[in-house]
Amino acid sequence: MCRKVSYLEFLSIVTFVVCLFFLHFAPWALANTYTVNDTADYTFPPSDGDPICFRWAITLANNHAGSDTIILPAGTYVLSSSTISTTKENNNAQGDLDILDDLIIIGAGAGQTIVDGNGGDRVFDIIYSDTVSLSGMTIRNGKAPTGDMGGGGIRTSAGTLTLDKVIVSNNSIATGTGANDYGGGVGNNGVCTIINSTIANNAAYKGGGVSNNGSSIAVFMSTISGNTDSVAAGGMLSISNTLVVNSTISGNSSTSGTGGLFSFGANTIISTTITNNSSVSGTDGYCNGTGATLSVQNSIIAQNEDNNCCYSIGMTSNGYNLEDTNTCGFTKASDLINSDPKLASLQNNGGPTFTHALQSGSPAIDAGTSVNMFPNDQRGKKRPCGAGYDIGAYEKCSGLLLFIPAIIGNSKSTQ
Protein backbone atom coordinates (compact mmCIF):
# COMPACT_ATOMS: atom_id res chain seq x y z
CA MET A 1 0.00 0.00 0.00
CA CYS A 2 1.41 3.37 -1.00
CA ARG A 3 1.75 6.03 1.72
CA LYS A 4 0.26 9.41 0.93
CA VAL A 5 2.95 12.09 0.71
CA SER A 6 2.25 15.25 2.68
CA TYR A 7 2.41 18.65 1.07
CA LEU A 8 5.57 19.58 3.03
CA GLU A 9 7.29 16.36 1.99
CA PHE A 10 6.34 16.99 -1.61
CA LEU A 11 7.71 20.54 -1.39
CA SER A 12 10.98 19.29 0.07
CA ILE A 13 11.41 16.75 -2.75
CA VAL A 14 10.71 19.38 -5.41
CA THR A 15 13.18 21.81 -3.79
CA PHE A 16 15.87 19.13 -3.72
CA VAL A 17 15.41 18.25 -7.39
CA VAL A 18 15.42 21.91 -8.44
CA CYS A 19 18.62 22.55 -6.48
CA LEU A 20 20.30 19.59 -8.17
CA PHE A 21 19.25 20.87 -11.56
CA PHE A 22 20.43 24.43 -11.04
CA LEU A 23 23.68 23.31 -9.43
CA HIS A 24 24.97 22.87 -12.97
CA PHE A 25 24.36 26.54 -13.60
CA ALA A 26 25.97 27.96 -10.44
CA PRO A 27 28.04 31.12 -11.06
CA TRP A 28 31.32 29.40 -10.24
CA ALA A 29 30.69 26.91 -13.03
CA LEU A 30 30.41 29.75 -15.52
CA ALA A 31 33.60 31.56 -14.51
CA ASN A 32 35.56 33.06 -17.39
CA THR A 33 39.31 33.34 -17.85
CA TYR A 34 40.74 36.34 -19.71
CA THR A 35 44.34 36.40 -20.90
CA VAL A 36 45.86 39.84 -21.41
CA ASN A 37 48.03 40.22 -24.51
CA ASP A 38 48.53 44.00 -24.75
CA THR A 39 50.50 46.13 -22.24
CA ALA A 40 48.79 49.34 -23.40
CA ASP A 41 46.09 51.03 -21.30
CA TYR A 42 42.87 52.07 -23.03
CA THR A 43 39.17 52.16 -22.25
CA PHE A 44 37.56 51.46 -25.62
CA PRO A 45 36.55 47.88 -26.48
CA PRO A 46 38.87 46.04 -28.88
CA SER A 47 37.52 44.72 -32.16
CA ASP A 48 37.19 40.98 -32.66
CA GLY A 49 40.63 39.44 -32.85
CA ASP A 50 42.41 42.52 -31.46
CA PRO A 51 44.64 42.27 -28.38
CA ILE A 52 43.07 42.72 -24.96
CA CYS A 53 44.65 45.19 -22.53
CA PHE A 54 44.57 44.78 -18.75
CA ARG A 55 41.96 47.46 -18.12
CA TRP A 56 39.59 45.98 -20.68
CA ALA A 57 40.05 42.48 -19.21
CA ILE A 58 38.97 43.87 -15.82
CA THR A 59 35.97 45.56 -17.47
CA LEU A 60 34.95 42.24 -19.06
CA ALA A 61 35.22 40.53 -15.67
CA ASN A 62 33.24 43.33 -14.00
CA ASN A 63 30.43 42.84 -16.50
CA HIS A 64 30.32 39.08 -16.02
CA ALA A 65 28.60 37.84 -12.86
CA GLY A 66 30.59 35.52 -10.64
CA SER A 67 34.26 34.97 -10.00
CA ASP A 68 36.57 35.26 -13.02
CA THR A 69 40.30 34.91 -13.61
CA ILE A 70 42.70 37.20 -15.45
CA ILE A 71 46.07 35.89 -16.60
CA LEU A 72 48.55 38.77 -16.67
CA PRO A 73 51.74 37.72 -18.51
CA ALA A 74 55.20 39.19 -17.98
CA GLY A 75 55.42 42.85 -18.93
CA THR A 76 55.06 46.37 -17.55
CA TYR A 77 51.49 47.66 -17.53
CA VAL A 78 51.55 51.44 -17.05
CA LEU A 79 48.31 53.31 -16.43
CA SER A 80 48.16 55.78 -19.28
CA SER A 81 48.07 59.50 -18.47
CA SER A 82 45.19 59.73 -20.95
CA THR A 83 43.05 57.56 -18.63
CA ILE A 84 43.91 59.52 -15.50
CA SER A 85 41.48 62.27 -14.52
CA THR A 86 40.65 64.38 -11.49
CA THR A 87 37.04 63.23 -11.88
CA LYS A 88 36.31 60.31 -9.54
CA GLU A 89 34.44 57.36 -11.03
CA ASN A 90 34.17 53.71 -10.06
CA ASN A 91 33.45 52.03 -13.40
CA ASN A 92 37.03 51.37 -14.52
CA ALA A 93 36.70 54.04 -17.20
CA GLN A 94 39.70 56.10 -16.14
CA GLY A 95 42.40 56.44 -13.50
CA ASP A 96 42.73 53.49 -11.15
CA LEU A 97 41.71 49.95 -12.05
CA ASP A 98 38.26 49.46 -10.53
CA ILE A 99 37.32 45.90 -9.56
CA LEU A 100 33.56 45.44 -9.17
CA ASP A 101 33.17 41.67 -8.76
CA ASP A 102 34.98 38.59 -7.44
CA LEU A 103 38.27 38.29 -9.32
CA ILE A 104 41.55 36.36 -9.40
CA ILE A 105 44.51 38.02 -11.15
CA ILE A 106 47.59 35.85 -11.73
CA GLY A 107 50.86 37.42 -12.82
CA ALA A 108 54.03 35.72 -14.04
CA GLY A 109 55.97 36.67 -10.90
CA ALA A 110 56.73 39.82 -8.94
CA GLY A 111 59.89 40.42 -10.95
CA GLN A 112 58.18 39.89 -14.30
CA THR A 113 54.65 41.32 -14.13
CA ILE A 114 54.61 45.00 -13.12
CA VAL A 115 51.52 47.19 -12.79
CA ASP A 116 52.56 50.86 -12.62
CA GLY A 117 50.20 53.61 -11.48
CA ASN A 118 52.27 56.26 -13.25
CA GLY A 119 51.91 58.58 -10.25
CA GLY A 120 48.45 59.72 -11.27
CA ASP A 121 46.07 57.63 -9.18
CA ARG A 122 46.03 54.57 -6.95
CA VAL A 123 46.60 51.33 -8.88
CA PHE A 124 43.74 49.02 -7.76
CA ASP A 125 40.41 49.99 -6.21
CA ILE A 126 38.21 47.14 -4.95
CA ILE A 127 34.84 48.81 -4.75
CA TYR A 128 32.33 46.39 -3.21
CA SER A 129 32.22 43.41 -0.84
CA ASP A 130 34.03 41.19 -3.30
CA THR A 131 36.66 38.50 -2.95
CA VAL A 132 39.84 39.42 -4.82
CA SER A 133 43.16 37.58 -5.10
CA LEU A 134 46.30 39.12 -6.60
CA SER A 135 49.42 37.01 -7.09
CA GLY A 136 52.78 37.10 -8.85
CA MET A 137 53.13 40.82 -9.59
CA THR A 138 54.60 44.15 -8.52
CA ILE A 139 52.24 47.06 -7.81
CA ARG A 140 54.10 50.35 -7.87
CA ASN A 141 53.95 54.13 -8.33
CA GLY A 142 50.33 54.54 -7.31
CA LYS A 143 49.26 57.83 -5.77
CA ALA A 144 45.81 58.03 -4.18
CA PRO A 145 44.10 61.41 -3.91
CA THR A 146 43.97 63.00 -0.47
CA GLY A 147 40.83 62.38 1.60
CA ASP A 148 39.78 59.35 -0.46
CA MET A 149 39.95 56.48 2.04
CA GLY A 150 43.62 55.75 1.42
CA GLY A 151 45.36 52.94 -0.43
CA GLY A 152 48.05 54.31 -2.74
CA GLY A 153 48.72 50.90 -4.23
CA ILE A 154 45.50 49.05 -3.37
CA ARG A 155 42.30 50.15 -1.65
CA THR A 156 39.57 47.79 -0.49
CA SER A 157 36.22 49.35 0.38
CA ALA A 158 35.06 46.07 1.94
CA GLY A 159 35.25 42.41 0.99
CA THR A 160 38.27 40.11 1.12
CA LEU A 161 41.70 40.73 -0.39
CA THR A 162 44.55 38.21 -0.65
CA LEU A 163 48.06 39.15 -1.80
CA ASP A 164 50.38 36.23 -2.57
CA LYS A 165 53.96 36.75 -3.81
CA VAL A 166 53.24 40.40 -4.52
CA ILE A 167 55.53 43.43 -4.16
CA VAL A 168 53.76 46.67 -3.25
CA SER A 169 56.32 49.46 -3.54
CA ASN A 170 56.76 53.19 -4.01
CA ASN A 171 53.09 54.05 -3.62
CA SER A 172 51.76 57.02 -1.68
CA ILE A 173 48.86 59.27 -0.74
CA ALA A 174 48.79 62.75 -2.22
CA THR A 175 49.90 65.36 0.33
CA GLY A 176 47.23 65.53 2.99
CA THR A 177 46.79 65.46 6.76
CA GLY A 178 43.26 64.13 7.06
CA ALA A 179 41.71 61.14 8.79
CA ASN A 180 41.34 59.35 5.44
CA ASP A 181 44.93 59.77 4.25
CA TYR A 182 46.09 56.31 5.26
CA GLY A 183 47.70 53.21 3.78
CA GLY A 184 50.43 54.30 1.37
CA GLY A 185 50.84 50.77 0.04
CA VAL A 186 47.66 48.95 1.10
CA GLY A 187 44.53 50.55 2.53
CA ASN A 188 42.34 47.72 3.82
CA ASN A 189 38.74 48.38 4.81
CA GLY A 190 37.65 44.72 4.82
CA VAL A 191 39.53 41.47 5.44
CA CYS A 192 43.11 41.28 4.16
CA THR A 193 45.63 38.43 4.00
CA ILE A 194 49.24 39.06 2.89
CA ILE A 195 51.38 35.99 2.08
CA ASN A 196 54.99 35.73 0.82
CA SER A 197 54.85 39.40 -0.13
CA THR A 198 56.85 42.60 0.29
CA ILE A 199 55.38 45.98 1.26
CA ALA A 200 58.25 48.45 0.81
CA ASN A 201 59.05 52.13 0.39
CA ASN A 202 55.48 53.42 0.53
CA ALA A 203 54.37 56.64 2.24
CA ALA A 204 51.24 58.14 3.80
CA TYR A 205 50.14 60.54 6.51
CA LYS A 206 48.99 57.49 8.53
CA GLY A 207 50.17 53.92 7.97
CA GLY A 208 52.97 54.24 5.44
CA GLY A 209 53.10 50.60 4.36
CA VAL A 210 49.75 49.15 5.38
CA SER A 211 46.69 50.57 7.08
CA ASN A 212 44.02 48.17 8.30
CA ASN A 213 40.74 49.96 8.92
CA GLY A 214 38.71 46.82 8.26
CA SER A 215 37.72 43.88 10.42
CA SER A 216 41.05 42.01 10.35
CA ILE A 217 44.44 41.62 8.72
CA ALA A 218 46.84 38.64 8.64
CA VAL A 219 50.45 38.75 7.46
CA PHE A 220 52.34 35.51 6.77
CA MET A 221 55.94 35.03 5.62
CA SER A 222 56.17 38.63 4.40
CA THR A 223 58.38 41.69 4.81
CA ILE A 224 57.23 45.23 5.57
CA SER A 225 60.21 47.55 5.17
CA GLY A 226 61.32 51.06 4.34
CA ASN A 227 57.86 52.64 4.66
CA THR A 228 57.23 56.07 6.19
CA ASP A 229 54.38 58.03 7.75
CA SER A 230 53.80 61.15 9.82
CA VAL A 231 51.60 60.43 12.84
CA ALA A 232 50.59 56.75 13.25
CA ALA A 233 52.90 53.96 12.03
CA GLY A 234 55.56 53.80 9.37
CA GLY A 235 55.22 50.06 8.79
CA MET A 236 51.63 49.10 9.61
CA LEU A 237 48.69 50.75 11.36
CA SER A 238 45.88 48.41 12.37
CA ILE A 239 42.69 49.39 14.17
CA SER A 240 41.33 45.84 14.49
CA ASN A 241 42.44 42.24 14.93
CA THR A 242 45.94 41.59 13.63
CA LEU A 243 47.95 38.39 13.10
CA VAL A 244 51.62 38.48 12.05
CA VAL A 245 53.46 35.16 11.59
CA ASN A 246 56.95 34.34 10.26
CA SER A 247 57.40 37.89 9.01
CA THR A 248 59.84 40.80 9.17
CA ILE A 249 59.01 44.43 10.00
CA SER A 250 62.19 46.38 9.46
CA GLY A 251 63.54 49.82 8.61
CA ASN A 252 60.22 51.68 8.76
CA SER A 253 59.95 55.18 10.20
CA SER A 254 57.45 57.72 11.51
CA THR A 255 57.66 61.35 12.52
CA SER A 256 55.51 61.23 15.66
CA GLY A 257 53.89 57.78 15.48
CA THR A 258 55.35 54.28 15.87
CA GLY A 259 58.12 53.30 13.49
CA GLY A 260 57.15 49.64 13.04
CA LEU A 261 53.65 48.54 14.06
CA PHE A 262 50.90 50.42 15.92
CA SER A 263 47.83 48.34 16.55
CA PHE A 264 44.44 48.28 18.27
CA GLY A 265 42.20 45.26 18.79
CA ALA A 266 43.44 41.75 19.59
CA ASN A 267 46.92 41.18 18.16
CA THR A 268 49.07 38.08 17.84
CA ILE A 269 52.72 37.99 16.74
CA ILE A 270 54.45 34.65 16.20
CA SER A 271 58.00 33.88 14.98
CA THR A 272 58.48 37.41 13.70
CA THR A 273 61.38 39.86 13.68
CA ILE A 274 60.70 43.56 14.38
CA THR A 275 63.91 45.54 14.11
CA ASN A 276 65.62 48.70 12.88
CA ASN A 277 62.45 50.79 12.97
CA SER A 278 62.51 54.39 14.17
CA SER A 279 60.41 57.40 15.13
CA VAL A 280 61.47 61.00 15.69
CA SER A 281 59.24 61.51 18.74
CA GLY A 282 57.25 58.28 19.12
CA THR A 283 57.90 54.59 19.81
CA ASP A 284 60.30 52.91 17.43
CA GLY A 285 59.27 49.25 17.29
CA TYR A 286 55.79 48.20 18.46
CA CYS A 287 53.00 49.96 20.34
CA ASN A 288 49.55 48.92 21.57
CA GLY A 289 46.72 51.39 21.12
CA THR A 290 44.24 52.11 23.91
CA GLY A 291 42.50 48.90 24.97
CA ALA A 292 44.55 46.74 22.61
CA THR A 293 46.10 43.40 23.54
CA LEU A 294 49.16 41.63 22.20
CA SER A 295 50.10 37.97 22.49
CA VAL A 296 53.68 37.38 21.32
CA GLN A 297 55.69 34.17 20.98
CA ASN A 298 59.04 33.12 19.54
CA SER A 299 59.71 36.63 18.25
CA ILE A 300 62.49 39.20 18.20
CA ILE A 301 61.70 42.84 18.99
CA ALA A 302 65.14 44.39 19.15
CA GLN A 303 67.52 47.03 17.84
CA ASN A 304 64.81 49.53 17.10
CA GLU A 305 66.23 53.02 17.46
CA ASP A 306 65.44 53.94 21.09
CA ASN A 307 62.33 52.11 22.32
CA ASN A 308 61.39 48.62 21.23
CA CYS A 309 57.91 48.88 22.79
CA CYS A 310 55.94 51.86 24.09
CA TYR A 311 54.92 50.00 27.27
CA SER A 312 54.00 46.51 28.38
CA ILE A 313 50.34 47.25 29.19
CA GLY A 314 48.10 44.71 27.43
CA MET A 315 51.09 42.65 26.29
CA THR A 316 51.28 38.93 27.08
CA SER A 317 54.38 36.87 26.45
CA ASN A 318 53.82 33.26 25.51
CA GLY A 319 57.54 32.68 25.89
CA TYR A 320 60.65 32.31 23.75
CA ASN A 321 60.92 35.99 22.85
CA LEU A 322 64.05 38.14 22.63
CA GLU A 323 64.61 41.84 23.27
CA ASP A 324 67.88 43.74 23.51
CA THR A 325 66.46 46.05 26.20
CA ASN A 326 63.53 45.47 28.56
CA THR A 327 60.46 47.46 27.45
CA CYS A 328 58.10 44.81 26.01
CA GLY A 329 57.10 42.90 29.14
CA PHE A 330 58.84 39.65 28.25
CA THR A 331 58.71 37.99 31.68
CA LYS A 332 58.59 34.26 30.96
CA ALA A 333 61.57 32.15 31.98
CA SER A 334 62.19 31.27 28.32
CA ASP A 335 62.29 34.95 27.27
CA LEU A 336 65.63 36.62 26.68
CA ILE A 337 65.95 40.30 27.65
CA ASN A 338 68.91 42.65 27.33
CA SER A 339 70.26 40.28 24.66
CA ASP A 340 71.81 41.30 21.35
CA PRO A 341 70.19 39.09 18.65
CA LYS A 342 73.18 39.60 16.32
CA LEU A 343 71.08 40.17 13.21
CA ALA A 344 72.63 40.53 9.78
CA SER A 345 71.35 43.26 7.46
CA LEU A 346 68.06 42.88 5.61
CA GLN A 347 68.86 40.99 2.42
CA ASN A 348 68.05 38.08 0.15
CA ASN A 349 68.64 34.92 2.16
CA GLY A 350 66.50 32.73 -0.08
CA GLY A 351 62.74 32.61 -0.42
CA PRO A 352 60.52 35.26 -2.01
CA THR A 353 61.18 38.00 0.61
CA PHE A 354 64.18 39.62 2.33
CA THR A 355 65.04 38.58 5.89
CA HIS A 356 67.52 39.30 8.68
CA ALA A 357 69.76 36.24 9.09
CA LEU A 358 70.98 35.23 12.53
CA GLN A 359 74.75 35.55 12.72
CA SER A 360 76.95 33.00 14.46
CA GLY A 361 76.75 33.34 18.22
CA SER A 362 73.25 34.81 18.23
CA PRO A 363 71.42 33.89 21.45
CA ALA A 364 68.29 33.38 19.34
CA ILE A 365 69.78 30.22 17.79
CA ASP A 366 68.23 27.04 19.25
CA ALA A 367 66.48 29.12 21.95
CA GLY A 368 63.00 29.12 20.42
CA THR A 369 60.06 26.76 20.35
CA SER A 370 57.96 24.91 17.81
CA VAL A 371 54.68 26.39 16.65
CA ASN A 372 52.68 23.44 15.36
CA MET A 373 50.61 25.32 12.79
CA PHE A 374 53.67 27.02 11.31
CA PRO A 375 56.50 24.50 10.84
CA ASN A 376 58.63 26.63 8.47
CA ASP A 377 60.47 29.93 8.74
CA GLN A 378 59.74 33.02 6.62
CA ARG A 379 61.73 31.66 3.68
CA GLY A 380 59.85 28.35 3.76
CA LYS A 381 62.76 26.48 5.36
CA LYS A 382 61.79 23.62 7.67
CA ARG A 383 62.23 24.18 11.40
CA PRO A 384 64.31 23.19 13.28
CA CYS A 385 67.56 23.23 11.33
CA GLY A 386 69.85 22.65 14.28
CA ALA A 387 69.66 21.34 17.81
CA GLY A 388 66.54 23.41 18.45
CA TYR A 389 64.17 25.99 17.05
CA ASP A 390 65.40 29.55 16.52
CA ILE A 391 63.64 32.71 17.71
CA GLY A 392 62.35 35.09 15.04
CA ALA A 393 61.47 34.84 11.36
CA TYR A 394 64.75 33.22 10.28
CA GLU A 395 65.95 29.68 11.00
CA LYS A 396 69.72 29.39 10.82
CA CYS A 397 71.31 26.28 9.32
CA SER A 398 74.98 25.46 9.65
CA GLY A 399 77.00 24.92 6.50
CA LEU A 400 77.27 21.20 7.29
CA LEU A 401 73.51 20.77 7.63
CA LEU A 402 72.94 22.65 4.39
CA PHE A 403 75.18 20.24 2.50
CA ILE A 404 74.02 16.98 4.09
CA PRO A 405 71.28 16.38 1.46
CA ALA A 406 73.76 16.95 -1.35
CA ILE A 407 76.32 14.65 0.30
CA ILE A 408 73.70 11.91 0.72
CA GLY A 409 72.52 12.39 -2.86
CA ASN A 410 76.05 12.16 -4.25
CA SER A 411 76.76 9.09 -2.15
CA LYS A 412 73.69 7.29 -3.47
CA SER A 413 74.47 8.24 -7.07
CA THR A 414 77.89 6.53 -6.86
CA GLN A 415 76.56 3.27 -5.48
Please report whether residue 2 resides in a domain.
no
Q: Same domain for 191 and 48?
A: yes
- Model pLDDT, residue 400: 45
Is residue 410 over pLDDT 60?
no
* Per-residue model confidence as pLDDT tens digits over 201-215: 999 999 999 999 999
What predicted TM-score, i.e. pTM, was given to this entire model?
Answer: 0.89
- Model pLDDT, residue 49: 81
Please report whether residue 199 resides in a domain.
yes
Please report whether residue 10 resides in a domain.
no
Please report whether residue 296 resides in a domain.
yes
Q: Same domain for 231 and 257?
A: no
Residue 30: pLDDT band by 50, 70, 90 thresholds? Answer: confident
Q: Same domain for 171 and 45?
A: yes
Q: Same domain for 163 and 60?
A: yes
Q: How many domains does the chain have?
A: 2
- Domain extent for 279: 247-404
Q: Same domain for 251 and 234?
A: no
Q: How far apart are CA 85 and CA 97, in angstroms?
A: 13
- Model pLDDT, residue 6: 53
Q: Are 271 and 376 in contact (CB under 8 A)?
A: no
Choose between 204 and 405: higher pLDDT: 204
* Per-residue model confidence as pLDDT tens digits over 219-248: 999 999 999 999 999 999 999 999 999 999
